[in-house]
Amino acid sequence: KDDDVVFETFVHSNGREFVCAVRGGRRYYLDDWHSHEWQPFPERWYSEGRLVPMDDNSQNRSSSSNHQNGTSGETTRHSERDDREGYLKHPKRGRVETYLMEERHYVHFFFDRQTGKWLRLPIGWELHHSLVKQMVDHVEEALPHWGDRADILALLRACNYNPDECIGTYLLLDGDGWLKPQRTSKEARAEENKDERIEHLTRKLKQMQSELETERKSRKEAEKQLQELRGNIRVFCRPRRDDRAQMCLKFPTDQDVMVSNSDGSKKVFNFDKVYNTEVTQEQIFTDTQPIITSCVDGYNVCLLAYGQTGSGKTFTMMGPDDNPGINIRAISELLKVCSERSETKTYGLKVSMVEIYNETVQDLLTSDARALELQMVGNVVRIPNITEMEVSQVSDIKDLMKLGDSNRKVASTKMNSTSSRSHLVLMINVSGEDKVTGAVSKGVLTLCDLAGSERISKTEATGQRLVEAAAINKSLSALGQVFSALRESQLHIPYRNSKLTQILRPCLGGDAKACLFVNISPDVTNYPETCNTLEFGSNARQVALGQAKQNIQKRPGGFPPR
């Protein structure tokens, strides 16, 4: 009849098999890979394979084996029992009927040119196949908590590369204890003791951290006491923040800085404190505050900023109006301390500001910025006719800073649009008198913003700028020679080699506390200058000035006259 359907199997020459059906004189095949629907049988396939009629007897046997009713068929069913039938007892589902079915599966192969054979595609390779990746992505999108793509592909293989069946199978079996690897008794005991072991290790870790912190504080205190006794120059390293630069700096600890060159070479330097590029002006001042305020007690204190042009020295020492540096903060703090002690002592603060330009000392607190002469009286340096202005409030400080800064020599170079062409030295004399004993204390705070250590080839200085650069390098070289002589405890210290070292002699010749900021650039293009600056700081850190002494003069008898 025209309505009868005849089922066939088409065996293609490539080994694939398709279920076919003939109805009304037309032949169709089941496309179970893409559309899962019946499609017209292609004409070209007749020459690419063969059609095999389906075995109706096998279907009859299969249906008879599943027949459950009737005692007359009991013997026949027993004699024709299929070994593929069976069951298992599931802890949650009870008795589960099973059958070992023979199904046709897709298997992914690749052609191996070396052997000339088709070999099964490994899972690791198959995950990179575009079609398979789409299937795995589809499953992963539906089951985002299932993060193992290899596991997803394994179940896809078992589900004949049907993503929907893969998702359904996973959801059906999710949470089944039988699908989880069975733990050994040893693993079970370890699981039971896990919380106890974690708690024990946590307590032990906290104890070790506490002991380490105690040891660190103790070691730091010992180093501080040793520094006080030896009078070592404290050296702080501050890198400039530059988001455009190719970073060559790393900060393993708060006392170490690592510099990496573009060729892979690395150097590590150790200082009293190493900051990162995010450090604030407040934090910088907080770390130096104890040293600075000690000048109220009669100590001589010196802070210097050293580094190449554009590394942030002036920002550290002066800073902008809305974010001031050490200079203004230091004088403000001294005024505050003096005010807090006003019930027992009387204080006075006088400020002087000079620049050293081309080996000439110039007074910055006068309108004509006149030149000054230095006089050496023993180890004491005197500057006759220098302008000293009293300060009693913060507004006085800002006015003085503006006046001095406006008189300072600056010029544009390739390294910095406003490169300082001179060394700026700010001196604050703090004198105090005890209202009870009459003892007089005298301390001097010297704040020095050194000119940039110029590399002429990079700054492209010419003419007058070239002369200035040579003078700057000469004075900085003289400062390095003084540090080297002090470090090696030489009998002759070459203070007279420059005006800079002559002015700094009271700060470096003993009895004073000194702190050096080495300012560096984070850019790898400045690697040589950065290393030179850090080497300078390392050498300075080894200088022992001797224990600082207070400059206090007591009245005879210990009490002031009535």
- From the list 346, 345, 344, 369, the residue with the least C-alpha distance to 358 is 369
How far out from the chain centre does Cα 309 lie? 26
Handedness of CA 480, 481, 483, 484 (dihedral sign): positive
Give the residue carrying structure tokens 């200079």: 327
Provide the phi-psi class of 259: left if phi over 0, else alpha when psi is between -120 and 50, else beta.
beta
Residue 313 labelled as part of a binding site: yes
Asked whether 236 and 515 are in contact (CB, 8 A), the reply is: yes
- Asked if residue 462 belongs to a known ligand binding site, the reply is no
φ, ψ for residue 285 (rounded to 5)? Answer: -70, -40
Residues 141 and 145: their CA atoms lie apart, in Å, by 9
Q: Which residues pair with 255 in a beta bridge?
A: none
User: Among residues 260, 291, 255, which one has the least CA distance to residue 276?
Assistant: 255
Beta bridge partners of 348: 431
Residue 307 labelled as part of a binding site: yes
313 contacts 450 by C-beta, under 8 angstroms: yes
Give just the sign of the alpha carbon dihedral 543, 545, 546, 550: negative
Own/partner contacts of 120-124, CB < 8 Å, gap of 24 or more, are 123/150, 123/153, 123/154, 124/150
Rounded Cα distance, 419 and 459, in Å:
10
310 is known to lie in a ligand binding site: yes
Handedness of CA 326, 373, 507, 501 (dihedral sign): positive
The answer to whether 484 and 521 are in contact (CB under 8 A) is: no
Any idea which residue has 């069913």 for tokens?
A: 77
Phi-psi region of 80 (alpha: psi -120 to 50; beta: other; left: phi over 0): alpha
Q: Helices 149-158 & 163-173, crossing angle to 10 degrees? A: 110
Question: Which amino acid is located at 32 in the chain?
Answer: D
Indicate the annotated binding residues for ATP.
Answer: 307-314
Indicate the annotated binding residues.
Answer: 307-314
